[in-house]
Amino acid sequence: MIFSTTIFVFLFLPLFLAGYYLLPFRYRSGWILLGSWAFYAWWRLDFLSLIVATTIWTYALGAVVARERLARPSRARAALALGCVLNLGILAYFKYFNFGIESLNALLQTLGAEPLSAWRVILPIGISFYVFQATSYLVDLYRDDAPEAGSYVELAAYISLFPQLIAGPILRYKDLAGQFRARSHTFEKFSEGALRFMLGFCKKVLIADSVAVIADTAFALETPGFVGAWLGALAYSAQLYFDFTGYSDMAIGLGLMMGFRFIENFNYPYISRSITEFWRRWHISLSTWLRDYLYIPLGGNRRGERRTYLNIMVVMLLGGLWHGAAWTFVVWGAWHGGLLVLERVRTSRGEEPTGAYLSRRAGATFASAVATARTMLLVTIGWVVFRAPSFSVAVEMYRGMIGLDGIGPLAELSWQIDGVSILMLGVSFVLIYTAPYLGTVRAGVPTLRLLSALSSGRAPAFGRALLVPLFLLSVLKLTAEAFSPFLYFQF
């Protein structure tokens, strides 16, 4: 089940919220757990057992870590290690077994040997997210940075929390522990959540799904040419942004409707003036998770410049591999890792800031505009290999982008891409580069105040009222068109 379906909007969500608000507070965590398990089991009942098992051993080992952390540290470390091995082990098996076998067979065939035969492993949706949440719980317990879960139900509800179960944001128990035990339920918070959900729904259905046609068409062309390649690259950049921010908005909105306040996952990343700044604004919950649980434990920037550069590359390579079991994702991670290292080198030489926020309004000067355009170009180049199903497709797209294959098959593009898709592509980039500056700018940084104002009572009545017909239009569009899952479900 996904958010952008009529069965979720008009059946599951109303029934869940009705039961939730009819129950006393002490039973609501149990209701969240049942609802989340039903939400996940709608896809496949058998894989629900994997979440249940993950929660059981995480809860049991977490109790050992909390109990023995000071009294017998060696036992606490052993329990932590076992929990990390189990959690990351199931992630490695389900996500990378096929990739490993395929890579090994390719090597064997190159060497003239017979390939191995093996079974195919189905990737459970959301496994990358709930495994990271379970692992962070154990690590935070060991660091004494989070309280122990009050019960199995509470921890299971946190790990399985359906608003963010499938595609994030990646939540940490230490940020939600207090909210599980006491949170406010007000009409204002519920209304803010409902409007935020509608905003995300519109992003997904009206914009992301519309420009997806352009991206899919361009990446499917044998020789996209200059026009097709750039249309495809820009369309995918917009599709991924509005698809993922739309999901995050819906997740945050659903959390508010239940009394929770989740962290923000995006802060207008496409206005960044460097790759360093981009990663402070894009998929914030993942970038901070990788920083806190991988980059810093590797030594961060505390062991000299060369070790810092190595740590950055390792983190970004693993971050790329986290997104998907394919060498294209490894290359994408290496691309961003290399750019981050280059920016850090230039900063150490005093050549230019790498993501340091300017004191003047962002984008108000020519230099800022050039830096923003350059960063967007580098990000878009990276999205091509991220989206491409193979290196050969990525190479053809890059050839087209630099003009090696001519203008492109314009006739083929014209009959496959309608005017609405082109219009929505234009609208998407207008929103990307105007929305940040319609809100409050503090210390040169466009904040999320516009977004929060739009989804709360502080927005003008016209702005809030406009969401309702747009939401209804989105529902009508959804019922008339084919099923379209969120992009991050595959990661």
Catalogue the active-site residues.
323
Spatial CA neighbour of 3 closest among 490, 483, 465, 491? 483
What is the tally of helices (H) and strands (E) in the chain? 21, 2
- 446, containing H or E segment: strand 445-446
Q: Determine the Cα–Cα distance for residues 205 and 208; give it in Å rounded to an integer.
A: 6
CA 490 vs CA 204, 274, 324: distances in Å:
16, 28, 8
Please give the structure tokens belonging to residue 457. Answer: 């009572």
DSSP H helices, 3-122, are 6-7, 13-22, 28-41, 48-68, 73-110
Burial status of residue 270 (CB atoms within 10 A of its CB: 0-12, 13-18, 19 or more): buried
CA distance 387 to 371: 24
Rg (CA), the chain: 23
**Which long-range CB contacts under 8 A does 278-284 form with residues at least 24 apart?**
278/355, 278/375, 278/379, 279/336, 279/340, 280/355, 283/168, 283/244, 284/169
Eight-state DSSP code of residue 388: -
- Residue 254, C-beta contacts closer than 8 angstroms, at least 6 positions apart: 3, 13, 162, 163, 193, 197
* Angstrom distance (rounded) from CA 232 to CA 422: 11
Distance CA 377, CA 371 (A): 10
Q: Which helix (H) or strand (E) holds 442?
A: strand 441-442
d(CA 320, CA 325): 9
Cα angle: 281, vertex 283, 286; to 5 degrees: 120
